[in-house]
Amino acid sequence: MRYVEEFRDPAAARALLDRIAALANEIGATAAAPVHIMEICGGHTHAIFRYGLDKLIHPGVEFIHGPGCPVCVLPMSRVDECVELAERPEVIFTTFGDAMRVPGTRKSLIQAKAEGADIRMVYSPLDALELARRNPEREVVFFGLGFETTTPSTALSIQQAAREGLTNFTVFCNHITVPPPIRVLLEDPHMILDGFVGPGHVSMVIGTDPYRFIAEDFGKPIVVAGFEPLDLLQSVLMVLEQIRDGRAEVENQYARVVPEHGNPVSVAAIAEVYEPRPSFEWRGLGEIDESGLRIRDRYRAFDAEAKFGIGYGAGPRDVREPEGCACGQVMTGRIKPTGCPHFGTGCTPEMPLGALMVSSEGACAAYYQYGGARAAEPAA
């Protein structure tokens, strides 16, 4: 298939791996003293394990798996609120499929559905809008979840609902943004991060400018990358070249898809419908200032938190992670998934204990599915 096969070419991959190895040797990177490169996006984590890049690459390059899987960073308190919304008799709760099995304190959405809650999987918020049109006597709630990649479609559906005057459609907004948690990780003195592979899909929307602080404030290179194996290998090579040259810049390996300034239509829709929350809780990272979005007052009629009295306006919840769960440490790259005592025993894709085992973009699920990596020791 054109535009796919050429990015999976084995000979080209081998040539890139050889160039990475030569460069790693040139800068003195070894298994004992590796270069730590964080792939921010869960899609990249999945691709690294799917294609075995962690095993093929020079041992002086260590991948650190970042917090870029929206299902994985969703705190349990928000899952609990989803379940509470879904169990209301008047509600049809709509969600993408990957959120169905995320464990809450009491149950997951799929368990709530098995017990009778009206929960429906959809492929787009527009599907939820159509349900609202067809069921005027019910309240249709869409579970808005994800980074800047999915935020525009939710914003556009809210604008469409407003145009149509729908009164039974709301969004439970859990949209989050990529740059704030990266700043938190860079400010953490315990983290060792030498460079970043930047998220391709998010960058289609926001462009490359929002990452400039990584290079300018922290002196770290970042290369926005595509999702095929050659994309990732070329991006790692570009990061290593910056390190060798003593440069710290924002580079765009995925220029065939990512425009420098993003998608202005999507950016405008986000700005029209959402504003930053003062803070938002991330699983494993805690509360992070201005890292989450909420629906602006002018669209308050479509905000499930306002309509049903849940969420941040309803006060804090003290929700504890399952005992021994190491999701937070994996999420911040402190340990590999295999370092969690539950990995593969109490926590599997069939019976996940933590969110990182639920989504295919979660580091634990990727390790489990593709046989783990070469190291189980702490990465930092």
Instruction: Tell me which residues touch ligand SF4 (CB under 6 A).
Output: 325-327, 330, 337, 340, 342-343, 347, 353-354, 356-357, 364
Q: Quick one: 223 or 357, whose CB is closer to ligand SF4?
A: 357
How far apart are alpha carbons 347 and 324 in whole angstroms? 11
Q: Which of 242, 235, 200, 233 is nearest to 42 (CA)?
A: 200
Residue closer to ligand SF4 (CB basis): 238 or 327: 327
Backbone angles phi, psi at 166, to 5 degrees: -70, 135
Cβ-based nearer residue to ligand SF4, 173 or 347: 347
Q: Minimum Å distance from CB 369 to ligand SF4?
A: 13
- Minimum distance from CB of 324 to ligand SF4 (Å)? 7
Structure-derived torsion over alpha carbons of residues 365, 183, 188, 366, reported in degrees to the nearest 10: 10
Q: How far is the CB of 246 from ligand SF4 (least distance, A)?
A: 36
Smallest separation, CB 345 to ligand SF4 (Å): 9
Q: How far apart are CA 238 and CA 241, in angstroms?
A: 5
DSSP, residue by residue, 123-152: SSHHHHHHHHHH-TTSEEEEEEEESTTTHH
CB 40, min distance to ligand SF4, A: 18
What minimum distance in Å lies between the beta carbon of 110 and ligand SF4? Answer: 17
Give CA torsion, residues 66, 252, 10, 359, to 10 deg.
30
Q: How far is the CB of 80 from ligand SF4 (least distance, A)?
A: 17
In the bound state with ligand SF4, the residue whose beta carbon lies nearer, of 161 and 330, is: 330
* CB-count exposure of residue 241 (10 Å: 0-12, 13-18, 19+): middle
Nearest to ligand SF4 of 292, 337 (CB atom): 337
Strand partners, 61: 35
- 21 by DSSP, 3-state: which? helix
Between 299 and 368, CB nearer to ligand SF4:
368
User: In this complex, which beta carbon is closest to ligand SF4, that of residue 252 or of residue 332?
Assistant: 332
Q: How far is the CB of 111 from ligand SF4 (least distance, A)?
A: 17
Residue nearest to ligand SF4 (CB): 354
Whose Cβ is closer to ligand SF4: residue 185's or residue 366's?
366
Q: What are phi and psi of 3, to 5 degrees?
A: 70, 0
- Evaluate whether 51 touches 16 at the Cβ level (below 8 Å): no
Only one residue has tokens 């730590």, namely 36
Of 91 and 364, CB closest to ligand SF4: 364
What are the residue ranges of helices labelled H in the chain? Answer: 10-26, 42-50, 53-56, 70-73, 76-86, 109-114, 125-134, 151-164, 179-187, 200-206, 212-216, 229-245, 264-273, 304-308, 327-331, 363-370
Nearest to 177 by CA among 239, 267, 101: 267
Among candidate residues 53, 19, 26, the one with its CA nearest the CA of residue 39: 53
Closest approach, Cβ 330 to ligand SF4, in A, equals 5
Q: Residue 212 corresponds to which tokens in the numbers above?
A: 């400039």
| Closest C-alpha to 97, from 81, 75, 77, 113 | 113
